[in-house]
Amino acid sequence: MRTARRLSLLVLLLAAALLAVIPSRAWWTGRMTASALKLVEGGPKVLPVARLWIDTDAACGAGARTDPDDCLAILWLLGRGVDVVGISTSFGNAEGAVVVERMAALAAQMRDAGLAVPPVLAGFPALADTDALPAGVVGLRAALEDGPLTVLALGPLTNLAAALEGRPDLAAKVQRVVAVMGHEAGHIFHPSEGNGRGLLGHGPIFRDLNVSVDVDSARRLMALDLPMTLIPYDAGRGVVIGPADLEAFAEQGPAQAWVARQAQGWLAFWQEDVGLEGFSPFDWVAAAWLLAPGQFDCAEVRAEVRLELAFWVWPRDGLVVDQAAGSRTFYCPATAPGLKDLLLRAR
């Protein structure tokens, strides 16, 4: 009995010590300090998108908790007449073979709805460990050889890094890369942010997935110093897609209704585990930057992959941004209030 009491006392003392050293704001919000970045309202001026390539790890409907964001983004862009010259599949939200199957299903729905669907080519199904380039990478290279191209990277940078490897002539053809990734130093992202769910009110933590599944490709691409726009998870915070939003979206057409059905499991996850009324569609928000960059507040930054050490996460390599005036890399963590209406507006 005495030993048990001593152990209980020791546990209580350790817990008290831990709580004493945890900065409460960092624990609840994942932020050590307020953002030091100087954001430009409406973002720096950029050239309009002419030709677009989409690289995607779409997994909508593949499982009960796979997000529909890629499918929402692709359907939205094609429905607005953007010149998408090709789509390559990747991995991350699901295994490569699953992404190929999900993209085939989405493409069929879009064709049935009368949309012009570009070639959909399979890229690397996992980390690139072979010298043989898949069709998705070969197609991306061919598209770059044809002229300047914007690349929307909704998954890891595996295919794009492989396409540009040893090809500085093609890197010069990249008008801009728009990627869903990046964060400020000391920031982790958990959407519930202290609403009482999970351990001590700390809900599920979202890792920077598109970086973490292929850190090496992110490092190689950053070394090329391409024009880039980073749309982090924070940018999605201002858009919450709830049940009524999905119902209204489904009424826009059969393809929209199909995607809305695939989103139900993800919606349930955010309601039950995250504790919010709806989900933030990160990739859909990134797609919106292509057509409405003025809806985003951005900073010119330096972005690099570096080791991060913090007591609340395991040491890891992350894509961290710092202010850098005159940079060609933009980091856009804030959006205008009207962005959600723009996304849900029927074409």
Domain annotation for the chain: domains and CATH numbers: 37-344 (3.90.245.10)
Q: Which is higher by pLDDT, 201 or 285?
A: 285
Q: Which of the two residues, 74 and 34, has the higher pLDDT score?
A: 74
Whether pLDDT at 294 is above 50: yes
Q: Cβ(116)–Cβ(74) under 8 Å?
A: no
Query: Taking a C-beta distance cutoff of 8 angstroms, is the pair 133, 142 a contact?
Result: no
Query: 65 has which bridge partners?
Result: none
What lies within 8 Å, CB to CB, of 5 at 6+ separation is none
Element (DSSP H or E) covering residue 321: strand 313-323
Least confident of 103-112, 227-236, 267-276: 267-276
Q: Tokens representing 120?
A: 């959909």
How do residues 312-326 score in pLDDT, each as one tens digit? Answer: 556 778 899 999 999
**pLDDT at residue number 19:** 47
Average pLDDT, the chain: 88
**Calpha distance 237→285 (Å, rounded):** 10
Q: What is the pTM of this model?
A: 0.89
Residue 143 DSSP label: H
Q: What's the pLDDT tens digit per position in 105-134? A: 999 999 999 999 999 999 999 997 778 999
| pLDDT for 229 | 98
What pLDDT score does 310 carry? 59
Looking at residues 272-291, what average pLDDT do you find? 93
Per-residue pLDDT tens digits for 18-64: 444 444 455 555 555 556 899 999 999 898 999 999 999 999 989 88
Which long-range contacts does 244-253 make (Cβ < 8 Å, 24+ apart)? 245/278, 245/340, 245/344, 248/344, 249/344, 252/346, 253/113
Strand order in the sheet with 83-89: 120-122, 83-89, 51-56, 149-153, 174-179, 228-230, 329-335, 296-310, 313-323, 183-184
Helix count and strand count (H, E) for the chain: 15, 10
CA distance 344 to 56: 21
pLDDT over 60 at 75, yes or no: yes
Q: Which two tokens stand for residue 266?
A: 């993800």
Could you give the percent of the chain with pLDDT greater than 70? 84
Task: Indicate the range of 121-135, 183-197, 201-215 predicted with least confidence.
Answer: 183-197
| Residue 220 near residue 323 (C-beta atoms within 8 A) | no
Dihedral sign for Cα atoms in the order 46, 51, 57, 63: positive
Q: Is it the case that residue 291 has pLDDT exceeding 80?
A: yes
Residue 265: what pLDDT? Answer: 96
pLDDT of residue 33: 55
Best CA proximity match to 208, nearest among 189, 224, 221, 222 = 189
Residue 311 has pLDDT above 80, yes or no: no
Q: Where are the alpha helices (DSSP H) in the chain?
A: 2-21, 24-29, 69-78, 96-112, 135-146, 158-164, 168-171, 209-212, 215-223, 233-236, 243-250, 254-262, 264-269, 282-291, 339-344
pLDDT top residue among 151 and 35: 151
**Cα gap 325→251, rounded to integer Å:** 45
Q: Express each pLDDT in 236-248 by its tens digit.
A: 988 999 999 999 9
Q: Are the beta carbons of 240 and 277 closer than 8 angstroms? A: yes
Let me know: does 205 contact 192? Beta carbons within 8 Å.
no
Which residue shows structure tokens 């769910």? 197
Ranking 174-183, 190-199, 295-304, 307-316 by mean pLDDT, the lowest is 190-199
Report the C-alpha gap between 303 and 326 in whole angstroms.
Answer: 13
Alpha-carbon distance of 170 to 209, in angstroms, equals: 26
Highest mean pLDDT among 65-79, 117-131, 175-189: 65-79
